[in-house]
Amino acid sequence: MSKVRAINLVLPEIEVHLAGSSIDGQLVLNLRSTLVDPVVKVELVGRGFLRWLEEDNPDLDYHKSTACTNEAVYVSKTKNFPIKDGCLDSGVYTFDFHFSFPPRIPSTFTSKIGCISYFVQGTCCSRQMVLAKEERCLLMQGTAGDHRRRVKDKASLVVETRKDVLYFCCFVHGSVILRISLEKNIFCPGETIIFVTDIANRTCKYVRKVVFAVHCIVLYSGFSSRGEQRSLEDRSEVTRLESQTDTAPFETMRITSALVLPKPMPLTSTLKESKIMAFRYELVGTSDLLCTTSTIVGRVPIIIAATS
């Protein structure tokens, strides 16, 4: 039977922590019997890891893949609690701790290829044996960013795309124009993106629906087992909205839409800033045209910047 009845971390009820802020908490240790020369500590850890498989040599007659990996440590701090007289009798003990987060660390992030995670871990050991341990994950919002470099991107933005359509066995043709307008293209995590979409339907068919989504495009940088540097770009949806438009043939419709960004989310960054991952974003409008195999897609680059 373990000498430790229970170990608990008491943390503030903060949903998302900001880079550069601090955290105060307690480690509560409930002992069933006396511990001699115990080690009681709390650790703050933030790290990133990525891994993907790619074909080793496509010219080979057989399939062989190699794993590309990389990792980074963003924060690693430890608080060891002094034990008076080197002994703890049975009972309940409370240890206070304080940690400061570094100002230039990335946000919490998870995908099928990589992750950036933060956690607080409390441990009680005796004679190099772990008797009890508790780990609590933290959501971190990065705040680093060069605002001066991006001042020029605060102007309004309009992106227009056109798709020519053939239908009725290619005897009839037309086009659809999708125009997306934003008052600005720099946004903060948790902010609402409000944008206007104009749909010019120059076909004999209805444009029934447009799907809007914010896409996160991540560039991963890793190394193969032979130490060769590799990169991989992957795209995923951050948030999504479906709008029923029912734009009649040879008519134009204007709709105003809003997408709420989540928090936390990684900021637009480079590999130099995030070490193993670079992030960029697009607002994407997509519509499948009825009775055709055509799809019209409009892409608007946006920037996710630090909160003020």
The pair of three-digit structure tokens given for residue 103, joined into one six-digit string: 């100002």
CA distance 125 to 305: 42
Using CA atoms, how far residue 76 sits from 45, 73, 243, 272, in Å, is: 5, 7, 45, 20
Q: Are residues 118 and 172 in the same domain?
A: no
Q: Clarify whether residues 10 and 128 are in a common domain.
A: yes
Domain final position from 93, 115, 141: 141
Give the structural domain span for 181.
Answer: 157-304
Q: CA Rg, the chain, in Å?
A: 26
Number of domains in the chain: 2
Q: How far is residue 178 CA from its own chain's centroid?
A: 29
Query: Would residue 115 count as lying in a domain?
Result: yes
The CATH number assigned to the domain holding 71 equals: 2.60.40.640
Q: Which residue has the higher pLDDT, 172 or 26?
A: 26
289 and 251, same domain (yes or no): yes
Strands (E), 192-228: 192-202, 207-223
Does residue 298 share a domain with residue 162?
Answer: yes
For 98-155, the pLDDT digits (tens) are: 999 999 999 999 999 999 999 999 999 988 899 999 999 999 999 976 544 454 555 6
Please tell me which residue, 146 or 200, carries the higher pLDDT value: 200
Compute the distance between CA of residue 156 and CA of residue 150 in angstroms, rounded to an integer. 13
Domain boundary residue, one of 141, 171, 189:
141
Residue 137 in any domain: the answer is yes
Residue 167 — pLDDT band, cuts 50, 70, 90? low
Same domain, 107 and 170: no
> What does the pLDDT read at residue 283?
96
Q: Is 21 exposed, middle or buried (0-12, 13-18, 19+ CB in 10 A)?
A: middle
